[in-house]
Amino acid sequence: RILFNELKSGQAVVVDCEGDPNDIENAKLVFRAVARETPAEEPVEATAVAAAPTESAA
């Protein structure tokens, strides 16, 4: 979004998850810009989600 000038100087970026955050295959991160003078939504403490197991290359 920065590369396409969708975010401007002085804005805060709010990052959220669209969909079920436990379904990492289908969930998407969404970003939106808000003016810094306007408080964003109450901050939510992030929780760690275990990564899906990966197949090892043999």
Task: Report yes or no on 25 lying in a domain.
Answer: yes
Is the pLDDT at 57 greater than 60? The verdict is: no
The answer to the question of residue 53 being in a domain is no
Q: Is residue 1 in a domain?
A: yes
| The total number of structural domains that make up the chain | 1
Residue-level pLDDT at 21 = 85
Q: What percent of the chain shows pLDDT beyond 90? A: 7
In a domain, 50, yes or no: no
Across 27-32, average pLDDT: 88
DSSP the chain: -TTTT-S-TTEEEEEEEES-TT-TTT-EEEEEEEETTS--SPP------PPPP-PPP-
Segments forming the whole domain that contains residue 18: 1-37
Predicted confidence band of residue 12 (pLDDT cuts 50, 70, 90): confident
Answer whether 0.75 is exceeded by the pTM: no
Is residue 14 situated within a structural domain? Answer: yes
